[in-house]
């Protein structure tokens, strides 16, 4: 089973936030993407077990960052 995890940079809080529509309860944050990936890798198996879902065979990470365009 493949799960999609989205990373979104929160400029105000200066952290990257991980969420997933596929994994209920997944909401983690960190100041770096690499550290957040490690947190997510440890959290996913436990969350999937709690939600009685199939364990992950693959995790697809999608990172997004929005900023205002300056002219």
Q: Identify the three-state secondary structure at position 35.
A: helix
Cβ–Cβ under 8 Å, residues 56 and 44? yes
Within a domain: residue 71? Answer: no
User: Tell me, what's the pLDDT at 18?
Assistant: 98
Range list of β-strands (E), 11-71:
15-19, 27-30, 58-64
pTM comes to 0.86
**Which residues, given as ranges, of the chain have pLDDT below 70?**
71
User: Tell me, what's the pLDDT at 70?
Assistant: 79
Distance CA 37, CA 53 (A): 20
**Structural domain harbouring 39:** 2-51+58-64
User: Tell me, what's the pLDDT at 48?
Assistant: 96
Count of domains observed in the chain: 1
Give the domain CATH number at 35: 3.30.2390.10
Which residues have a Cβ under 8 Å from the Cβ of 41 and sit 6 or more positions away?
A: 59
């Amino acid at each position: 089973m493949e799960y999609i995890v989205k990373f979104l940079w929160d400029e105000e809080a200066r952290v990257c936030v991980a969420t997933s529509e596929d994994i209920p309860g997944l909401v983690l944050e960190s100041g770096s993407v690499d550290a957040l990936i490690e947190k997510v890798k440890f959290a996913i198996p436990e969350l999937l077990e709690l939600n009685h879902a199939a364990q992950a065979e693959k995790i697809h990470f999608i990172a997004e960052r929005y900023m205002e365009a300056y002219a």
